[in-house]
């Protein structure tokens, strides 16, 4: 079985995805009449095959939290439905162990004409709970969802946030060994999202397995130990969340460039090949106050960030930018020539170095990455380097967070007479 273990080998496997492929047939005939006409002319119905997943393999061990990342159409939601048993693979197999609860689509398993009360019993039954189990947990389900005043209202009158509250509440009360979550935590107010995250954290402490699909690298980093990145139905990367975020963003940037090139060609009315950018970022490095390449920076120290740029042809005015982010993809600082109100001067074919001087960088302890980008005078990107380099800031036990601050504490005592 050719699978990659994405978590520790000390615990048993609860999900095994073994050489799984999934294909769908897309029909091009929009009506019965068109199908009959097409069948008469060509001898077959006009259809097209779409491969959503291709030879996907990995294993998930008990108690782990896995993020599935990828752009729209990469196959991550299809994969989650396959793991959840909602659909079957075209090829390969998926092995599961333990009770599974899935939050795959907004209101999936709900009947719009039934009340919230009736849908609790319906959805709980779909997820494998008996009537007696649902009776025992009914009050807790309603309390967690915070929609008790609407529990006897037909769910077709619910808002999207109310759907999610009820669906999530039912799912977590099925006492699952494996919880599948597909983007639904992005719906609802911030307070309820935080409540859901707290519940997921509780599940993790209890040793349950979480499989999460999200477009948010920050959410994946907050919940997951490791991540699987999908691209065009194939596994592009399996490993740490930090590295997965980098790969995911590089894939998104590549797609963005393709779309931009196609849009430019369409606007000009000419179908043309995508031409290579005239410049590329070759390297980025961090220098300390003495001009030495540094891997460790003391909080609050002066630093410089240098970009080596190579030009394949002469260019006019151009721009650059840098940003500093955490391994989870959260930006803590960013700047660039456009924000500063300046541009770089025209350049000839060859190499040049751009230097950003930062007088003080008061970051808290931890690991940080630097992204950089160059673009033309109108800010059309030429080259983008994600996590081009990294540096480390020593941690200080007295504080946490991302900003280093000088803090003191004092206490002032007053007598009872003074208080009176």
pLDDT value at residue 358: 95
Cβ neighbours of residue 233 closer than 8 Å, sequence gap 6 or more: 22, 51, 52, 53, 54, 56, 74, 75
Q: Residue 313: inside a domain, yes or no?
A: yes
Sheet of strand 331-336, all strands in order from the earlier edge strand to the far edge: 331-336, 318-325, 366-376, 381-393
- The predicted pLDDT at position 271 comes to 44
Q: What is the pLDDT of residues 266-299, one digit of tens each?
A: 655 544 444 578 999 999 999 998 999 999 999 9
Task: Output the pLDDT for position 418.
Answer: 58
CA distance 378 to 381: 9
For residue range 123-160, what is the model confidence (pLDDT) as tens digits? 888 888 899 999 999 999 999 988 999 999 999 998 87
Q: Is residue 330 part of a domain?
A: yes
- Selection from 309, 377, 372 nearest residue 344 by Cα: 377
How would you class 386 by CB atoms within 10 Å of its CB: exposed for 0-12, middle for 13-18, buried for 19 or more? buried
Structure tokens belonging to residue 296: 């460790």
Domain count, the chain: 1
Q: What is the CATH number of the domain that holds 381?
A: 2.70.50.60
Residue 136 within a domain: no
The tens digit of pLDDT for each residue in 42-86 reads 555 566 788 899 999 999 999 999 999 988 888 988 998 899 888
Residue 353 lies in a domain: yes
Per-residue model confidence (pLDDT) at position 352: 95
Helices (H), 127-230: 131-145, 160-172, 190-205, 217-223
Enumerate residues 6+ apart whose C-beta is below 8 A from 378.
Answer: none
What's the domain range around 332? 279-393
**391 exposure class (CB count in 10 Å sphere: 0-12, 13-18, 19+):** buried
Higher-confidence residue of 11 and 322: namely: 322
Question: Is 205 within a domain?
Answer: no
Handedness of CA 94, 100, 103, 105 (dihedral sign): positive
Contacts of 401 (CB under 8 A, 6+ apart): 364
Asked if residue 345 is part of any domain, the answer here is yes
Q: Is 145 helix (H, G, I), strand (E, B) or coil?
A: helix
In sequence order, the 6+-apart residues with CB closer than 8 A to the CB of 244 are: 67, 69, 220, 226, 227, 228, 229, 237, 238
**Has residue 217 been placed in a domain?**
no
Phi-psi map region of 125: left, alpha, beta (phi>0 left; psi -120 to 50 alpha):
alpha
Is 263 contained in some domain? no
Burial class (CB in 10 A: 0-12, 13-18, 19+), 212: buried
């Amino acid at each position: 079985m050719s699978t990659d273990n994405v978590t520790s080998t000390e615990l048993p496997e609860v999900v095994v995805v073994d050489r799984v492929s999934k294909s769908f047939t897309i029909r091009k005939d929009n009506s019965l009449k068109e199908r009959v006409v097409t069948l008469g002319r060509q001898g077959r119905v006009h259809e097209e095959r779409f491969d959503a997943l291709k030879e996907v393999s990995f294993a998930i061990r008990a108690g782990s939290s896995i993020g599935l990342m990828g752009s729209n159409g990469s196959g991550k939601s299809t994969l989650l439905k396959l793991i959840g048993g909602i659909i079957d693979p075209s090829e390969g197999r998926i092995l599961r162990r333990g009770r599974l609860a899935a939050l795959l689509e907004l209101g999936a398993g709900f009947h719009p004409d039934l009340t919230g009360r009736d849908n609790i019993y319906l959805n709980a039954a779909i997820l494998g709970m008996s009537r007696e189990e649902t009776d025992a947990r009914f009050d807790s389900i309603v309390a967690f969802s915070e929609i008790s005043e609407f529990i006897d209202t037909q769910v077709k009158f619910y808002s999207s946030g109310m759907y999610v509250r009820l669906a999530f509440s039912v799912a977590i009360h099925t006492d699952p060994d494996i919880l599948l979550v597909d983007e639904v935590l992005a719906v609802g107010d911030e307070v309820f999202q935080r409540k859901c995250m707290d519940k997921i954290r509780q599940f993790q402490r209890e040793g349950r397995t979480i499989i999460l699909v999200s477009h948010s690298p920050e959410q994946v980093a907050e919940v997951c130990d490791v991540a699987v990145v999908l691209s065009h139905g194939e596994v592009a990367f399996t490993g740490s969340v930090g590295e997965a975020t980098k790969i995911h963003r590089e894939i998104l940037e590549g797609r963005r460039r393709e779309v931009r090139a196609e849009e430019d060609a369409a606007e000009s009315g000419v179908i043309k090949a995508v031409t290579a950018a005239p410049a590329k970022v070759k390297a980025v490095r961090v220098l300390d106050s003495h001009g030495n390449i540094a891997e460790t920076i003391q909080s609050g120290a002066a630093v410089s960030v240098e970009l080596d740029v190579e030009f394949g042809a002469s260019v006019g005015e151009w721009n650059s930018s840098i940003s500093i982010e955490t391994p989870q993809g959260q930006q803590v600082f960013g700047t660039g020539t456009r924000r500063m109100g300046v541009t770089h001067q025209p350049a000839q074919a060859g190499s040049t170095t751009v230097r950003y001087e930062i007088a003080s960088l008061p970051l808290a302890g931890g690991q940080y990455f630097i992204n950089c980008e160059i673009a033309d005078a109108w800010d059309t990107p030429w080259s983008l380097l994600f996590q081009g380099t990294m540096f480390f800031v020593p941690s200080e036990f007295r504080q946490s967070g991302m900003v280093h601050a000088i803090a003191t504490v004092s206490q002032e005592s007053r007598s009872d007479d003074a208080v009176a």
